[in-house]
Chain A
Amino acid sequence: QKEVEQDPGPLSVPEGAIVSLNCTYSNSAFQYFMWYRQYSRKGPELLMYTYSSGNKEDGRFTAQVDKSSKYISLFIRDSQPSDSATYLCAMRENNNDMRFGAGTRLTVKP
């Protein structure tokens, strides 16, 4: 079993839809949870950062962390074609190495 599981998709939605992306993990010691957006041939761009459990909202993006279920989610409201990218979840314990999900490829169709 991988330490971080993420469905690679691809996921295709119409413009304006609500997108739900998620990851599960096995290491209960993870405390820091991140979501990155990566456009083709570009480095990952940090979207959301959450410490421990809870919700965090930033514009159209909402990140949720449920440590009891070892499950994290990223919601994108009113999705736009410019949101088309690969979304990577990542997590870490303290200063240890970060662990990445496989990335989910999202396409938002006009």
Chain B
Amino acid sequence: KAGVTQTPRYLIKTRGQQVTLSCSPISGHRSVSWYQQTPGQGLQFLFEYFSETQRNKGNFPGRFSGRQFSNSRSEMNVSTLELGDSALYLCASSLASRTEAFFGQGTRLTVV
């Protein structure tokens, strides 16, 4: 059974650009959540999607957006990149809300 797949694994972008990250959850899982991990702040919640609906949103600026498709795959987009957006972005999938979360390997975003 395939795990959570995140693409790409690494990205280098310039300030002001935008970026799209992708997450394919475990087959059959309908809940996808995104987290940002930085050395100083730890893991911070970005969004949660369930059956294409955003159920929760973290305290991030509007430059951060996301969506979920009918096949449960999810994307997040960051526009007008800033140096502080450099982080490991992690996606987690769950069968449903309040069940065990399984994480992908993450996308390492570096903004220069």
A, B in one complex: no
Residues of A within 8 A of B (CB): none
